Structure 1
Amino acid sequence: MTFIFWLISRLPLRVLHAIGGALGLLAARLPGRYGRRLVENFRHAYPDATDAMIAEAARHTGRLIVEMPYFWSRKSITVRTDCFDDHLWPEMDRLQSQGNGLILTTPHLGCFEILPLSHARLRPITCLFKPPHQPWLREFVERMRTRPNLAMAPATPRGVRMLVKALKRGEALGILPDQVPSGGEGTWAPFYGKPAYSMTLVHRLQQLTGAPVVMIYAQRLPHGQGYRGHVRVLGDNGRLPDDPAAASATINAAIEDLIEIDPTQYLWGYNRYKQPGGAEPPPATMASAPVSPDTTTQNH
C-alpha cells in the first residue's frame, strides 16, 4: 500500500484532481446511502442548490480522497498555498505567543491534509485522528501522517493526554471539529438549524489550558492550482463561551460561515446528523434558527 500511495503521489495535482473528481461523481451516482445523504444534507443547508452544485460537491469529495496519498507520501509541499505564510501563520503566531498553546480546528472542508503539513514546516503541531479498527491500517495511517514537527494523537484517552501535554508546552493542536464524537462525549448543537451531536473536546481543552481557538480552511483552487487559506478567530480573541453547548454552537456556526465561501467543498456525504450509541436524543426544544458565528473574520 505504501508503494501505491507513493506512485499516486508522483502524479501532478491537476491530474489527481481530475481523476478524483470523476471518481467522486461516479460514487455519488451509484445506488446507496452515500449519494442520498450527500444530496439530502446539501439541500437541507442550501435549499436552492442546483444539480450542478451537488455534482461539484461530489467531485470535491473525490479530490479530497486522492489528496491523501499525494500529501502523505511527499516529503515537502510543492503546491501553491496562497496567503499561508504571509497572513495565516503570522496570525497564528500572534495567538500562540500568549503562551497557552493554540487549538487549530479544521472542518471537513477543502483540503485539511495540507494545513498541518504547512504548519509543521514552521513549528510543532499534534493532530487528533480517529484510528481505524484494523491494527495494521491504524499503524499505516499513523506512520504515513507523522512527520518532523507533526505528531498524530489517536482519539483515545492516551491521545487526549498527548493533546494536553502539547498545549502545556505552548504548541499547537489540529482537530476536526465536526467529527461526530462517541456517545457521552458531546452535546447537541444546531448545524444549519438541525441538531447535530457535536464534540465538547475543544471546549474542555480550552477550559483546561486557556489555549485560544481558531478555525482554518484551505480552499481548493481550480485545476489543481493549489490552495487559498482562510481563518476565523472564534469568540473573544479565541475564547469560547464557558457553557459547553454554547461553545459547540459557536463552533458549528463558524463552520457554516466558512462553508459559505464555497459550499461545494464541504463533505456533505458525511453522516453529520447521526445519533451515536449512548448519546441522549436531541432536545425537542432546540432552536431551528442558525446561531451567530461570533468570530473575527479574515479572508486571504
Structure 2
Amino acid sequence: MRVLLIKALLHFFALLPLSIIYSIATLLGQIVARWQTLRITQVTRTNIRFTFPNLSPAAQDILVKQSLIETCKAFSELGALWLWQTDSVLRLVQEVSGETVLQQALQGGKGVILLTPHLGAWELAGLYASSRYPLTALYRPPKLAGLHDLIHAARERAGGHFVPTDKTGVRALFKALHKGEVVGILPDQVPSEEGSGIFAPFFGISAYTMVLVSRLARKTGATVIFTYAERLPKRLGFHIHFLPAPEDIAADNLEIAVAALNQGVEQCVLGNPAQYQWSYKRFKRRPEGAALVY
C-alpha cells in the first residue's frame, strides 16, 4: 500500500510545473516547521543546534524553517527528476561552476571519485554527471523494495551504472577507476557495516564516517571532487557546482584523510546551509561513552 501511495504521489508531482511543486513544498515545509513533535522537525532542530552553536536561537529557528522547506522541495521534486524526460530535467541546469576541474582530472587517466553530499538536488547532480561522463555509482536499495525498479531505472536512464553497496559494488568502483572513468559516492551517509567507518569531526561533532573514499583515492591515485546541485528558486532551475576535495583526503593517516572528507562536505554545505538534509540522523552512531544526540 505504501509503495502504491508513493508512486501515485511521484506521478502526481511529475504532472506539475516546478513552480507549483515548490509552492506546495513551501507550504508543507511551513506547516512541518510549526509541528514541533514531528520527528523530522526534531531531528532538523537538533542537528542545527549542534552544528551551528554560534547562531542565536532566533537565527537557528530561521534556518530550521528554511531547511524543512528545502527538505520538502527535495522530496516533492523527485517526481519530476525521476519521471520527466531526461532532456527536460537537464534543461533545468542553468549554471555550472568548476566543471573544468573534473575535465582536467580525467585527462590524468587515473579516474575521478565524484562525491555528492545530501545537498540540494543530489539526484540531479548524479543525472548530470552520468549524462556527460562514464559513471559508476554506489546505490543503496530503498527500504521499500517495490520502489527499487523505478528508482534504479530513473538513475540509470542517462547512461550511469549503479552498483550495490557491497563487495561487488566496491570492485566495480575499482574497475571503473582503473579504466580512468568516474565513480560516484554519497559521502555523508552513516556506514552500516562494522569496520567500514571511523569517527571524525563534522561541524565539530564526532561523526561516524566512511573510510571507502580515502582508501579508493589512496590506492588508485584518482582525483576526488565534490559536486552538488543548488536550487535557484527565483529562476526555477539549478546551479551545478564542482569543487576540488581537500588534499589530505588521500593521506596515509586514515584519521586525517577521513577528517578531510568531512571538511569537504562542510565546504559544500556552507555554500547553502538551508539546502542540506539536516533531517538525516547524521550523528546517530556515537563514540563509546558519548551522550546520545537524538
TM-score when normalising by structure 2: 0.86
Shift of 1:56: 0.8
Structure 1, unaligned stretches of length 5 or more?
285-300
Equivalent-residue separation in structure 1 for 2:11 and 2:98 (angstroms): 29
Corresponding residue for residue 23 of structure 1: 28
Partner of 2:238: 227
2:44 maps to 38
Pick from 271, 279, 296 the counterpart of residue 281 of structure 2: 271
Is 1:8 paired with 2:18? no
Q: How many residues align?
A: 277
For residues 84 and 98 of structure 2, what CA distance do their matches in structure 1 show? 22
SS at match of 1:271: coil
**Is 2:145 the partner of 1:118?**
no
SS in 1 for 2:22: helix
Structure 1 203/195 Cα, relative in aligned 2: closer, same or farther at 3 Å?
A: same
- Note the C-alpha offset of 1:67: 2.1
How far has the Cα of 1:275 moved from its partner? 1.3
Corresponding residue of 1:257: 267
1:39-188 aligned within 5 A: 39-47=45-53, 48=55, 49-75=59-85, 76=87, 77-84=89-96, 87-182=97-192, 183-188=194-199
**CA deviation profile, 1:166-218 (whole Å, cap 9, x unmatched):** 21221111211001002321010001111000011111211232111011122
Letter in 2 for 1:34: I
C-alpha distance in 2 between matches for 1:50 and 1:217: 23
Q: Percent identity?
A: 34
CA-CA distance at 1:106 after TM superposition: 1.2
Segments of structure 2 that go 5 or more residues without pairing to the other structure are: none
- TM-score w.r.t. length of structure 1: 0.84
Residue 250 of structure 1: how far off its partner (Å): 0.6
Work out whether residues 25 and 62 of structure 1, in 8 Å CA contact, stay in contact via their aligned partners in 2. no
Distance 2:202 2:111 in 1: 28
Question: In 2, distance between residues paired with 1:19 and 1:189?
Answer: 38
Report which of the two has the higher share of helix. 2
Following superposition, the deviation at residue 107 of structure 1 comes to 0.9
- 1:228-247 correspondence to structure 2 within 5 Å: 228-236=239-247, 240-247=250-257
Task: Find the aligned partners of 2:30 and 2:188 in 1 and give their Cα distance.
Answer: 23
* 1:83 aligned counterpart, secondary structure: strand
Inter-CA distance 224–63: structure 2 relative to 1 (3 Å threshold): farther
Alignment RMSD: 2.2
Structure 1 residues 12-38: Cα deviation after superposition (integer angstroms, max 9, x where no partner): 112112212222343444323321111
Does the aligned pair in 2 maintain the 1:185–1:199 contact within 8 Å? yes
User: AA paired with 1:275?
Assistant: R
Deviations 1:214-267 (A, max 9, x none): 11122111246211232321133x962222221111111122122222211111
Residue aligned with 1:275, SS: coil
Structure 1 moving runs of 4+ over 6 Å:
none
Q: Do the aligned residues in 1 keep the contact of 2:176 with 2:182 (CA within 8 Å)?
A: yes
